[in-house]
Structure 1
Amino acid sequence: MPKAFFEHLVFEKHLSKHTIAAYKTDLIQFEQFCKDQKINNLLSVTSKDIRRWIIFLLTQNLNSVTVHRKLSSLKSYYNFIQREGLIKDNPAAEAILPKKQKKLPQFIKENEVDALFDDTFFSNDFEGLRDQNILHLFYLTGMRRQELIDLNIHDVDFSRGVITVTGKRNKMRSVPLPVWLLDQLKEYINFRKKHFSDGPDNLFITLKNKQLYAKLVYRIVNYYVSRIATLQKRSPHVLRHTFATQMLNSGADLNAIKELLGHANLAATEIYTHNSFQKLKNTYNQAHPRA
């Protein structure tokens, strides 16, 4: 795999570190599959080889979403080397995939959210204050995990009451914050300055005065959410789903939610209407005398 392809993903496509890491994993797995099939040159891969790859993935009990992503990685790779003139046709271009299984986003119930932000949950030291702010920002802005990791102190505009979030493809958006959270963030920043000096510009840091990393953020969220909810998934994305679902249930405009989440199109946001409709349906069944 040429180094130039990954530079293309970084500098031209502006993909996140997480997405690029997934591409690398997918391509390494495909390369190994090719070697097992006695194909030693990725430039000689045919559309039949791609179909065999898809069948192989389906036999591994992978869900259709994962298979779609892996094929997307291959299409991007072969599009790039086709553009570079190394192959004539993209062997992955015409591949037919199984239908995606639509899974409704999991979210935390409103009564569980109240329990999640109980002050007694968090210790009175730097770590407790940091974790509390992380959870509040996820819940009140719907930002993604990498977006939170990439936040810098100067991204919080205390005078305007907004936080600037840098999303996918470096697209920036401003999300309003309530006054009480701005005060809480000030307290955290002042506390941090007293205990850490000459650290990174990142808003949130580790106890070793380094930038946060993805696994740590996941562990933080998982730890607190597991104490109040019985959800199978307890990742930062669950708080993003909770933000969107509760905004929609409270009557927020779908286009406004789209902008706050940083979605490229409305279709990605519309999945939250399924949860909202289900809640409406349940209310109808419980309240209507003829239901």
Structure 2
Amino acid sequence: MTLPAELDHWQADLSAFLAYLKHERGYSDKTLSSYQLQLSAVASQVAEQANHWVELTETQLQLHISSCRKSLKARSLALRVASLRSFYRYLVQQGKLKENPASYLQVPKFDKPLPKNLDVDQVNHLLDFDTSEDALACRDKAILELFYSSGLRLDELVSANLQDIDWSEALIRVRGKGNKQRVLPIGRMAVAAIKDWLKVRSAYVGTEPEALFLSKQKNRISNRQVQQRVKLWSERQGLAQHLHPHMLRHSFATHMLESSSDLRAVQELLGHANLNTTQVYTHLDFQQLAKVYDNAHPRAKKK
């Protein structure tokens, strides 16, 4: 969403903010587009009340958020408030404001839907297919195994290169959100599946020879292609629910947490900046929490 010409003086700071997020913070194009959409909508709706971002007060911003309650869902409102807080924090850093008027904006609470996951038997069934006579099946199995083995995001898997793998230590270096890097272990089955794929990969090398996973068009495999292949194998293997890459990441996190009860370690493996994100992501059930409590708390340990 681009602001009309009469709001060019609003657009200047917004464009500078987006450039800062892209070049200084390493935000993805998808995130930048979301920020631009939210903040452009604000400018378009409040332009009659002020001449510039710095003139808007906390009260005016809160009235704007309140006026959007009927037209926007709670999640969208929360995104708009988060965008405003981040943008005004940037304006304060630039010395254009002394205080952030969006710091204390009230936003309605919403229930985050719990991500779905496969159980261990379903994962084993998904990964139990023959690849001996099909190079693409060989590639797809390596993709599925790596998703489940290391909990990669879709963007992280697609952007992975051959040199990112340390074969001697069975590790892979990935670039996550904000271009932050982390190093993850690769499980034994995933290592074997990737090595099988590398035996036939040369037939697909083209424009990006460094890419770990390639397509029939001899390009780096795309996000959409991975999503389609994951769905294809879910259907071929007779899984009841629609399967997507994020569900495999969530299954990895859930099974790791169920086995280890180490929330902090799972947070590191997933690359979450905030522990609260991991808690929601892995939806610890009450029985698991009670078990951890009984085993850990000095006044709860059973003799």
TM-score by length of 2: 0.77
Q: Secondary structure in 1 aligned to 2:173? A: strand
Equivalent residue letter for 2:191 = L
Superposition deviation, residue 198 in structure 1: 4.7
Change (3 A) 1:193 1:39: farther
Q: Deviations over 1:73-132 (max 9, x none)?
A: 122122223333444543322211112424322111222212221315x79544333322
Residues 122-271 of structure 1: matches in 2 within 5 Å? 124-225=133-234, 228-231=238-241, 234-271=243-280
Match of 1:74 in 2: 84
Q: Secondary structure in 1 aligned to 2:182? A: strand
Deviates more, 1:125-134 or 1:145-154: 125-134
Match of 1:6 in 2: 18
**Unaligned 5+ runs, structure 2:** 1-10, 291-303
Match of 1:47 in 2: 58
User: Percent of pairs identical after alignment?
Assistant: 32
Superposition deviation, residue 243 in structure 1: 0.6
- Does structure 2 retain, via aligned residues, the 8 Å contact 1:254–1:270? yes
- Does structure 2 retain, via aligned residues, the 8 Å contact 1:248–1:272? no
- Does structure 2 retain, via aligned residues, the 8 Å contact 1:249–1:276? no
- Does structure 2 retain, via aligned residues, the 8 Å contact 1:161–1:176? yes
Structure with larger Rg? 2
Match of 2:93 in 1: 83
Change (3 A) 1:258 1:186: same
Match of 1:24 in 2: 36
Superposition deviation, residue 170 in structure 1: 3.2
**Unaligned 5+ runs, structure 1:** 282-291
TM-score by length of 1: 0.80
CA separation in 2, counterparts of 1:108 and 1:226? 14
CA separation in 2, counterparts of 1:193 and 1:273? 38
Question: Superposition RMSD on alpha carbons, in Å?
Answer: 3.1
CA separation in 2, counterparts of 1:34 and 1:192? 55
- Does structure 2 retain, via aligned residues, the 8 Å contact 1:50–1:92? yes
Q: Relative contact order, CA 8 A, sep 6+: which one is greater? A: 1
Aligned length: 277
- Does structure 2 retain, via aligned residues, the 8 Å contact 1:9–1:15? yes
